Structure 1
Amino acid sequence: MTTRDVSARSPKALCAPAPAAPPAPPAPAGAALADAGAPAHLLQVIEGERAGADAVQDHRTKAVGFTGSTRGGRHLFDLAAARPDPIPFYGGLGSTNPVVVTPAGWAERGEEIATGFAGSCTLGSGQFCTQPGVVFVPDADAFLAALPPLSAGPMLNERIGTAYTDALAARDGVEVARRVPGVEGQPDVVLLRTTADAVRNDPALITTEVFGPASLVVAYRSPEEVEEALAEFEGTLTGTVQAAGADDEAGLRMLDLLARYAGRVIWNQWPTGVTVSDAQQHGGPWPASTAPTTTSVGTAAIRRFRRPVAFQNVPGTALPPELRDRAPRI
């Protein structure tokens, strides 16, 4: 018995819903695909929410990849599942990407950690889905004092900016530790502050995503408080440990805990660096994604759109060319 993938060999079209913003000019990617011999109209852009929903329900659509909000993604996921012929929906949705700074890590690398966090938090105006939205620190005062100046930048469009400010306004039980005014009407960079005790009483503080340049600094008194807080997490794309050396027992324990909830666990680096590689995993348990066994970044991402077919007792001459005995092995 031999197998072959059929889905990737005969693509029909890749449709991308455009954000709620003025239409962009045709992307150079389209011309590059055509130059490479790709089928005409392989890459297309759909304008508007209604058109995107219609595309999910269209009988010609056989699989959907999505990156966006939990609310919007769940709506499209339900539409895909409610079809007469349900199709795979690979959604990347909400993620707060927790960071745990251990006491030993802070004592040994405090300035480095503060600088790295500032850059990761505000990279792309905080609009990376791997932006560190929650950071647990043993000394919140020292952490905030060590941060370099934060820079504010533009949001992708007005709708995302409005959603960001609305989400911040809905945050109760926290205090504003630092605010950097946005430029030319753009939203502010905001660092919020709370304690592990407050998280114990209201776990939503650390599980609700605020998409944009905002993070919640959570002060803790013992590693046990962090462990209790991490148990409240659902799924997340990333989990980061900022520790001392490889013998930092608290860091190793946090790494093990984060692996239960995160698709990618990180040691002494930052989550906003998403390398496209064979080993990359960009996904996680709900609500980080709807299909935690797949990745949307890296060479394995194409597997979401492949369907294996087995050929049993089929004469060699009838097999697809790539499965014949003399076919080159890839």
Structure 2
Amino acid sequence: MSLWQIAARNVWRNRGRYLAYLGSAAFAVMIYFIYTALARHPDLQGGYAGASAVIQGIRAASVVIAGITFVFLMTSNSAFVRSRKKEFGLWSLMGVTRGQLMAVVLWESLFIGAAALAIGLGFGVLFLRLFFMAISVLLRLPETLSIYAGPPVWVQTLAVFGAFFVFVSLYSLTDIVRSTVIDLIRAERKPKAAPTFRWWKSLLGLVLVAGGYAWASAPWPTAIILGVVPVTIMVSVGTVFLMQEGSIALLGWLRRREGFYYRTAPFLTVSHLRFKLQENAQVLANTAVAIAVILTAVSTIYTLLVVFAHEAQMR
């Protein structure tokens, strides 16, 4: 049996573990494909008033979605590899060379990436017409935007996410290369450091979120247009910081309440959550930011419509 066949069997055997990762990656590919198709639509290349501003907002949202997806893929893939270190160590004891082990892990990652691209692009084509109909209603266009999914849209989506999956696959091998057989086998037994609350990080997150929403609430059209990219970045980074440090602070506060903490159920639950949230806080924050960016991008289109309509009426 060849190495790629072994990798395919491993992916199928661990399909339950990979399902959430695959679904999230496919969803990100679908959203990026749809937004890229809208940004590159021929009818919006100067065909309507204010179209250039709408395209800028959509492109900014696409960049943020791609960045969040990249961080999510890095975090999730590292967690999967870390959870299977003992399995890799046993393979090494059975005679599997380090090169063969790396090839199997690389094939697994590429299989998941190819499946995510295929599923995401398939659903992107499926929902493309519905998305264009909704955008046409929001922009109050005289007629519905025609379906557009030209070669540049496919090439850009495949290039961006293909590069992501290849880089993440190669990055996942670095931890295996640096670990010895004993380290791989004992990976699950290593004690985890207790999470510590960092006040400066939580304060920075609060300032970024508050500043971002204050900027977005400015009543001036120029501030809204210029703030699309900075506000998105500020709120995204601030949300990640607040999610990480806020969860640690909350669980630390519960732990200090002796009357509540030193009981069977809270003792086990809070102690377990302290370490699980430390591992998964970044993934949860990335998911929250991705959903917020998607909703905000659609709202931005409608906001720009109202702003330009008001300016045209005043003039």
Fold match by TM threshold 0.5: no
TM-score (ref. length: structure 2): 0.26
TM-score (ref. length: structure 1): 0.25
Which structure is higher in strand share? 1
Which structure is higher in helix share? 2
Q: Give the structure, 1 or 2, with the largest relative contact order (CA under 8 Å, sep 6 or more).
A: 2
